[in-house]
Amino acid sequence: MPNLPDHQGISQKSVTLGDSPNPQCAQPIRLRGGVDYLDSATGELLHRYTTARESDGVLRVACKTRRASRCPPCAEIYRADTYHLIRAGLTGGKGVPATVAAHPCVFLTLTAPSFAPVHARTLRNGQVRACRPRRDGGTCPHGRPVSCTERHGTDDPRPGEPLCPGCYDYAGSVLFNACAPELWRRFTITLRRTLARLAGKTQAAFSREARVSFAKVAEYQRRGVVHFHAVIRIDGPDGPATLPPGWATIDLLTAAIDATAAAVIVTTPAADGLPSRSLRWGRQHDIRPIVADGQLTDNAVAGYVAKYATKAAECTGTLDRRINPADRLTDLPIRPHARQLIATCLRLGKLAGLEDLRLTAWAHMLGFRGHFSTKSRAYSTTLGALRSARAEHQRQHAIMTRRLPIHAEDTVLVLTHWHYAGRGHASGESPSAATTSSRVPAFPAPSPGGS
């Protein structure tokens, strides 16, 4: 170890200058400070970067959000990465052999059950259909019509909203969102078992011959409940590079998915005034084979998954941030349906027995606290691998612009001293005001003697 002047500021990875600067980022993190590069054997200062050298004295690091509502340029990078990642699992590339395209593979949509009739805008042959015509008409127990014959326009806010809020099962909706990740987890486990059973194999024999990979994305329906789209593929025992066994067919996969989707249940804990209930997938699920010359092309699936990977609940008219204790629900600029879903999260969040669902913290997401896109390890490459390829490109750029030294990384010790200087593009706000943001990254404390 070299004799360092001060150890406080040592951090290899908190911020790397080769990291994406994405100049288009709408809400960059602004940093003041610098980095010293020392020879790890001798402690000799090889290179010093300080933000004083930047035109306005701060370095902007891209926010890297996946959410298009927060930063479209960074979300676009995330979307493109997700696209390539999904596509590699369908057609090969990025280290996945092209033979993967011949493996049995389907695109599955799992929906939530109904929580009461909602207005709908659907098209048939390019024409908007009547919303929910019921010839026998009549009214619900709250005196509202159970039929809607309107043809809702694109700017009509009602599609996705209940015909009668009094009839709508708000508790069921937010509990479903809260349990959807667990429902999905059980689905993946049960699907493997069901495949083995239908193939006439023991679990152990199945794992010796085949492996099932998943890549899924969550999407909010307009009614404020999540549903999942997933690519499901059967490989040989060692993943995409190995041939699946002959018995692994699209028909077998489809039959196993049908059986599994109908069977999986999550039971919520009983709470004060709220009995335990069993949650399951909606009866309508959609399975489409992904084949090279089929109706559903690899590119379409990859594009679809990637598009939803950058969306969140705000698409259903809720808030893009957490609800604070200071928020008055009635003042929030949202539609009554979203307000009622949030209010239900806050109400159920207080019930003893439901703490683990963390409904209060995730009220703005209408109860869903899962990941928007996930995939099993063997699906294809990883976002990390895609990013490191880009980071290397950016590292070269940083060397060209003298932010980084030319030395090999393993012989260099990096001593950083960053100060958080705010968020966004404007400069000059006080750091103390900016650090109230909930998204302040954990940079190392400023080290006064650190350089």
Residues that bind Zn ion (CB under 5 A): 25, 62-63, 71, 74, 119, 131, 140, 142, 148, 150, 164, 166-167
CB–CB of 421/431 below 8 Å? Answer: yes
Q: How distant, in Å, are the alpha carbons of 50, 98, 278, 336 from that of 102?
A: 52, 8, 38, 48
Closest approach of Zn ion to the CB of residue 308, in Å: 19
3-class DSSP state of 210: coil
C-beta of 164 vs 391, nearer to Zn ion: 164
Calpha distance 29→20 (Å, rounded): 12
Closest approach of Zn ion to the CB of residue 136, in Å: 16
Q: How distant, in Å, are the alpha carbons of 175, 281, 352 from that of 172?
A: 5, 12, 17
Calpha distance 425→286 (Å, rounded): 44
C-beta of 143 vs 325, nearer to Zn ion: 143
C-beta of 4 vs 140, nearer to Zn ion: 140
**Residues 6+ away with beta carbon under 8 Å from 235:** 100, 103, 210, 211, 212, 213, 241, 242, 244, 378
C-beta of 2 vs 137, nearer to Zn ion: 137
Residue with tokens 């596509």: 87
The length of the chain is 451
Give the relative orientation of helices 72-91 and 298-309 as an angle to the nearest 10 degrees.
150
**Residues 6+ away with beta carbon under 8 Å from 37:** 45, 46, 47, 48, 49, 404, 405, 407, 412, 413, 414, 415
CB–CB of 279/268 below 8 Å? Answer: yes
C-beta of 168 vs 228, nearer to Zn ion: 168
Closest approach of Zn ion to the CB of residue 30, in Å: 12
Strands 29-39 and 59-61: antiparallel
C-beta of 90 vs 131, nearer to Zn ion: 131
Q: How distant, in Å, are the alpha carbons of 100, 225, 313, 417 from that of 221?
A: 31, 6, 9, 45
Strands 278-279 and 266-267: antiparallel
C-beta of 216 vs 311, nearer to Zn ion: 311
Closest approach of Zn ion to the CB of residue 332, in Å: 24
Calpha distance 91→379 (Å, rounded): 12
C-beta of 97 vs 157, nearer to Zn ion: 157
Amino acid at 113: P
C-beta of 147 vs 360, nearer to Zn ion: 147
Amino acid at 82: T
Closest approach of Zn ion to the CB of residue 391, in Å: 16
C-beta of 160 vs 181, nearer to Zn ion: 160
Query: In 13-31, which positions are buried (b, 16+ CB within 10 angstroms) versus exposed (e)?
Result: eebbbbbbbbeebbbbbbb
Amino acid at 62: A
